[in-house]
């Protein structure tokens, strides 16, 4: 199924309103930069997320609108066009920043990550090519969870697809384990604690698809060479938990 690249309009906001900054009506203010996208403030309720290397955001916007319509906590999608998403501006910071600042402990973070997986995988699939498939985020980690006044909100859905839920859980574990095995990373010890607590909560079912999760992660174009080198050690760490 191909998704059209025409704008997705929600919440009664049209193209002239959301994309007024293109005509100089709004001057976006830089807020943050990730590995492949930049985020700008449009006003006090909207942000612009723009991908630097191209691509069409239609599929990302469609899955966000779908899960949001079922009550899952995602930013409201106001419009999608080309490389640009206009999204709800969230209050609060990331789970990662809260962990670093000592405002959230690893056990609470593990509870939250496991609960987000549980809630997401309880939703019916949008495309449903196989009965057992569920919606997968495939990048669910502390830097993609915003702790807002309305609770945790999951952001950055570009990798989202459908498949076996354990693959999503396993990929989260691999991402945490990559940090835990990096002896030069300042967050290695807390990442190991968080990983251990997360694995206790999700169980060993992820081991059945761990190799697949490592392969998915290995082919992520945003990874550095050093991060790819850590993948085998990350998998060993996860298996050693049981």
Residue 27 has pLDDT above 60, yes or no: no
The pLDDT of 177-194, averaged and rounded, is: 96
Distance CA 58, CA 51 (A): 13
Architecture of domain 93-239: Alpha-Beta Complex (3.90)
Residue 24 has pLDDT above 90, yes or no: no
Report the share of the chain in percent with pLDDT over 70: 88
Dihedral angle computed from the Cα positions of residues 105, 108, 113 and 116, in that order, rounded to the nearest 10 degrees? -150
Residue 89 has pLDDT above 90, yes or no: yes
Mean pLDDT of the chain: 88
Which residue intervals of the chain are DSSP H helices?
15-18, 58-69, 95-100, 106-121, 165-180, 188-202, 210-218, 225-229, 231-239
Q: Where in the chain is the domain with CATH 3.30.200.20?
A: 8-88
Nearest by Cα to 165 from 198, 190, 140, 191: 140
The model's pTM: 0.87
Instruction: Give the list of residues 6+ apart from residue 223 with CB closer than 8 angstroms, or none.
Output: 217
Tens of pLDDT, residue by residue over 163-173, are 999 999 999 99
Nearest by Cα to 85 from 38, 122, 124: 38
Q: Where in the chain is the domain with CATH 3.90.1200?
A: 93-239
Instruction: Give the list of residues 6+ apart from residue 171 with CB closer than 8 angstroms, or none.
Output: 138, 139, 140, 213, 216, 217
Q: Kindly report the CATH number that applies to the domain delimited by 8-88.
A: 3.30.200.20
∠ CA 173-94-169, nearest 5°, is 20
Residue 21 has pLDDT above 90, yes or no: no
Sheet holding 145-148, edge to edge: 93-94, 145-148, 151-154
Distance CA 80, CA 10 (A): 10
Nearest by Cα to 134 from 171, 115, 161, 156: 161
């Amino acid at each position: 199924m191909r998704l059209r690249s025409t704008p997705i309009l929600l919440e009664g906001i049209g193209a002239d309103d959301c994309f007024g900054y293109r005509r100089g009506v709004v001057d976006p203010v830089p807020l943050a930069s990730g590995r492949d996208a930049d985020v700008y403030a449009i006003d006090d309720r909207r942000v612009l997320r723009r991908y630097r290397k191209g691509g069409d955001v239609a599929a990302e916007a469609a899955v966000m609108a779908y899960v949001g319509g079922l009550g899952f906590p995602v930013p409201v999608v106001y419009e999608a066009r080309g490389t640009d998403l206009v999204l709800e501006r969230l209050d609060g910071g990331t789970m990662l920043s809260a962990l670093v600042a000592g405002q959230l402990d690893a056990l609470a973070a593990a509870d939250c990550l496991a609960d987000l997986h549980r809630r997401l995988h309880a939703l019916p699939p949008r495309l449903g090519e196989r009965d057992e498939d569920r919606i997968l985020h495939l990048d669910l980690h502390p830097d993609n969870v915003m702790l807002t006044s309305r609770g945790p909100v999951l952001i950055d859905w570009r990798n989202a697809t459908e498949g076996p839920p354990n693959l999503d859980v396993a990929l989260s574990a691999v991402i945490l384990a990559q940090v835990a095995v990096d002896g030069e990373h300042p967050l290695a010890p807390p990442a190991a604690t968080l990983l251990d607590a997360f694995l206790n909560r999700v169980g060993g079912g992820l081991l059945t698809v761990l190799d697949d999760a490592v392969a998915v992660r290995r082919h992520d174009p945003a990874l550095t060479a050093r991060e790819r080198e850590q993948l085998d050690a990350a998998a060993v760490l996860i298996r050693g938990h049981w």
